[in-house]
Structure 1
Amino acid sequence: MKGKRLLVLLTLLLAGSALGGCGFKDIDKRFFVVAMSVDPSGKEDKKYLVTVKLAIPSPSEKFGSNQYTLVSEDTDSIAQAVRIIKSKVDKELDLGHLKAIVIGRELVEKGNMDEVMDWFVRRRDIQNIAWVAAGVPDGRSILDLRPPTERLPSNMLFMSFGQVGTETAYIVSEYLFDFRRRLRERGLDPILPIVESRGDQQVAINKVALLDKNKMRLVLDPLDTKIFNSFYQGIGKYDIQIRQDQGYFIISADNVKGSFTIENVQGKTVITLKPHIHGIIEEATSPISKTELAKYERQAEQEIKERALQFVKRLQQANIDPIGFGLRYRARHPGNPDHVWKKWVELYPEVEFRVQPHVRLTSTGQLG
């Protein structure tokens, strides 16, 4: 009986000491990091300029209540920068609410993205569903934006990438876990949406940086961004301008989804893109008739075919593969993985692309 009492007493003592030494801190002793940026350091003997955005609690959530403070440090490693930043504030940094990671464009152009992202992936308190983007002119400038319509610090980025506010085909969203996978996976190259500061606390998010496994190789303009997005995440709210002899008409698509197949046709590797578009005619510069929807569909299919071919040939010439043609090829061709990959690297520059679009128009809008 005494032995049991002694055991219970020791257990309580150990539990009490464990609670006393744990790392728990009250909420009023924490700074919540909502966003981080990494830029090249302006100092010759340092590698990175790391900036954290710390949210300052507000008694009420309203427009313009996005109070925050930025703290930066020049170091050779992100881990060291965070430790030094801790010495500059009076509260513990809480990374559990970090939802946006912005890499400065200059750093993306220099390369070595795998090293930059290593710390973010290893930290267990950073969400793998945090958004990753490239910042123009740099990451710190994007973090320092204070739009008057924001209710919470960096909420503009969260709502744009999550498409819970605005819904547009021009915004490509990239998660931390997917960016890391693309850096490592053969046959699927990394992408970064570009957040560009436009002055007066405004931004534009309608371009995408395409990388090889190391650095940026190509920047997609807004038109190509829409085409890529149809294969990347399947989108709605898509507009397509179709040229005619006397002007143009614009399709508003409610549903756009791209797929592709890889086949061997008479000894040649052929990739066939199959965009599927359902929508209505939203605008026209010349009279549109409801009885001629089939003709407009054919015109749209021809236009989409030309644009899609130009897009994939740009990717082929730059020798990058953000859509995942190589990954599909590896999955469909058994054998030694290294040999299959080597074969694809040889084939990709000579692959023939074909486009078979399918456009379905349901109406000409309110007029016609």
Structure 2
Amino acid sequence: MEKKEGERLFMRILLLVIMLYLCFCLGGCSFKDIDKRFFVVAMGVDWTGDKENPYLVTLRLAIPASKIGEGLAESQIEHLEAPSIAEAVRNIKAHVDKELDFGHCRMFLFGNSLVKESMEEPLNWLARRRDIQLIAYMALAEPSANKLLKENPSTERLAGNSFYLTFGKEGTVSPYTVTALLFDNFRRFKEKGLDPYLPIIRFDGDSYVVEKLSLLDKMKEKLVLDPKETKLYNMSANEFSRSGIPINYKGKRLAFYVSRVSRHVSISKDDIPIVSLHLKINGMIEQSPITVMDANTLQIQKMLEKNVNSTTQELLYKIRNAKVDPYGFGLHYLSQYFGKEEDWEHWQNVYSQIKFEVNSQIIIESTGLVR
């Protein structure tokens, strides 16, 4: 018994010595307090065209302030040219006195020249960083990300807050603004039959303007939609309500407010597939000649349906001719027919020849109030 007790005591002492040794081997905590950090609220990447330093990286760093108000948002802009994005970010650390923190960065801007060149390297860097939020927003900056980040909207209360209010729908809700999230574009750049897009943002001297859309293939920009086409795409592809459909009615302008949109897509299995897009749109007449009453709604509905059918079909053919597919018709085709590799090859070969049929159903719920 005494021998066993001695062995147990020895094992306990040995375990205690090992635990103390491990404690000495542990390193200290590398956490840094908030006052020792610079929070990056927006980041921009531009293409310089220089072989040695092709990337211009711009960071907008928030400066904490005791007062919050319109025009009081303070920030610091740091930019650097480098052979790669990772090297630029690392070298920028030598220009500031605090640690760079990307945990609050929810806006990534890409210059017009970069989007036309290639988006492969920026997406590669974003995908590998563990501190980048997947719910961050992406946009194409005109004329460049560097110039856009240097602008400061007069109504901005917090550094970078205007971007979040614009794309996050927390502030303005515009049918011309299409939101591109980082996680969704990661999927679009890799998924078969689904191509990415980027909203185009510019500065008009007072605030940011977002009303156009850039359509990309798996590498770079192929087509830019104007404001009318962007609004139509947002409604037909994303089922975006709070939009509007204007037409000419008896020589005057009539505006139809869209309160609800639903869509259905079906694709035939023909040698040259036919894509049928069905739209059901509910809303009310927002502005019209004073003579428009409930008795005129049937005629107006037919005119609105004809307008939506023709303009949407024209947009679909324009996108098809640019050889991009932001609607995801190719992905829908594969899922509808349990597509294999040969089906995907067939879709790619005939995509430039596919036909579109658009059928819309407009329901006028009200003609508004006339006093």
Shared fold (TM-score greater than 0.5)?
A: yes
Question: What's the CA shift for 1:269?
Answer: 1.6
Larger Rg: 1 or 2? 2
Question: What's the CA shift for 1:358?
Answer: 1.1
| Cα deviation 1:34-62 (Å, max 9, x = unaligned) | 11000012745211000111100011332
Contact kept, 8 Å, 1:230 with 1:258, in 2: the verdict is no
| Counterpart residue number, 2:222 | 217
| Counterpart residue number, 2:26 | 18
The aligned amino acid for 2:178 is V
Range that drifts further, 138-147 or 311-320: 138-147
Q: Using the alignment, how far apart are the partners of 2:206 and 2:146 within structure 1? A: 13
Instruction: Give the direction of change, closer, same or farther, for the CA distance of 1:234–1:12 in structure 2 (3 Å limit).
Output: farther
Q: Using the alignment, how far apart are the partners of 2:143 and 2:73 within structure 1? A: 22
Question: What's the CA shift for 1:286?
Answer: 5.5
Instruction: Give the direction of change, closer, same or farther, for the CA distance of 1:327–1:59 in structure 2 (3 Å limit).
Output: same
Q: Does 1:143 align with 2:146?
A: no
| Cα deviation 1:190-222 (Å, max 9, x = unaligned) | 100000122x23221010000111111110111
| Counterpart residue number, 2:140 | 134
Instruction: Give the direction of change, closer, same or farther, for the CA distance of 1:289–1:34 in structure 2 (3 Å limit).
Output: same
Q: Using the alignment, how far apart are the partners of 1:224 and 1:259 within structure 2? A: 20
Q: Does 1:123 align with 2:163?
A: no
Which of the residues 307, 331, 338 maps onto 2:335?
331
User: Unpaired segments of 5 or more residues in structure 1?
Assistant: none
Question: What's the CA shift for 1:318?
Answer: 1.0
Contact kept, 8 Å, 1:247 with 1:286, in 2: the verdict is no
Contact kept, 8 Å, 1:168 with 1:236, in 2: the verdict is no
| Cα deviation 1:69-89 (Å, max 9, x = unaligned) | 011110111111111001111
| Counterpart residue number, 1:343 | 346
Which of the residues 60, 72, 75 maps onto 1:65?
72
| Counterpart residue number, 2:265 | 260
Which of the residues 340, 356, 369 maps onto 1:366?
369
Which of the residues 278, 281, 287 maps onto 2:291?
287
Contact kept, 8 Å, 2:235 with 2:243, in 1: the verdict is no
| Pairs within 5 Å for 1:45-56 | 45-56=52-63
Runs in 1 of length 4+ with deviation above 4 angstroms? Answer: none
Figure out how many residues of one structure are paired with residues of the other and give that number: 363
Determine helix, strand or coil for the equivalent of 2:172. Answer: coil
Determine helix, strand or coil for the equivalent of 1:329. Answer: helix
TM-score (norm 1): 0.93
Q: Does 1:35 align with 2:42?
A: yes
Q: Does 1:168 align with 2:171?
A: no
Q: Does 1:306 align with 2:310?
A: yes
| Pairs within 5 Å for 1:264-283 | 264=269, 268-283=272-287
Pairwise CA RMSD of aligned residues?
1.9
Q: Using the alignment, how far apart are the partners of 1:10 and 1:140 within structure 2? A: 55
User: Unpaired segments of 5 or more residues in structure 2?
Assistant: 1-8
Instruction: Give the direction of change, closer, same or farther, for the CA distance of 1:248–1:60 in structure 2 (3 Å limit).
Output: same
Q: Using the alignment, how far apart are the partners of 2:39 and 2:237 within structure 1? A: 32
Q: Using the alignment, how far apart are the partners of 2:49 and 2:322 within structure 1? A: 31
Determine helix, strand or coil for the equivalent of 2:30. Answer: coil
Determine helix, strand or coil for the equivalent of 1:182. Answer: helix
Instruction: Give the direction of change, closer, same or farther, for the CA distance of 1:335–1:208 in structure 2 (3 Å limit).
Output: closer
Q: Using the alignment, how far apart are the partners of 1:317 and 1:194 within structure 2? A: 21
Question: What's the CA shift for 1:319?
Answer: 1.3
Determine helix, strand or coil for the equivalent of 2:95. Answer: coil
| Counterpart residue number, 2:325 | 321
| Counterpart residue number, 2:246 | 241
Determine helix, strand or coil for the equivalent of 1:224. Answer: helix
Contact kept, 8 Å, 1:103 with 1:134, in 2: the verdict is yes
Q: Using the alignment, how far apart are the partners of 1:127 and 1:18 within structure 2? A: 30
Question: What's the CA shift for 1:268?
Answer: 4.5
Instruction: Give aligned-pair identity as a percent.
Output: 36
Question: What's the CA shift for 1:228?
Answer: 1.2
Instruction: Give the direction of change, closer, same or farther, for the CA distance of 1:332–1:71 in structure 2 (3 Å limit).
Output: same
Determine helix, strand or coil for the equivalent of 1:171. Answer: coil
Instruction: Give the direction of change, closer, same or farther, for the CA distance of 1:9–1:229 in structure 2 (3 Å limit).
Output: farther
Question: What's the CA shift for 1:186?
Answer: 1.6
The aligned amino acid for 2:298 is A
Which of the residues 164, 184, 187 maps onto 1:158?
164
Q: Using the alignment, how far apart are the partners of 2:207 and 2:296 within structure 1? A: 42
The aligned amino acid for 1:274 is H
Contact kept, 8 Å, 2:214 with 2:223, in 1: the verdict is yes
Q: Using the alignment, how far apart are the partners of 2:52 and 2:99 within structure 1? A: 28
Contact kept, 8 Å, 1:278 with 1:361, in 2: the verdict is yes
Which of the residues 196, 204, 207 maps onto 2:209?
204
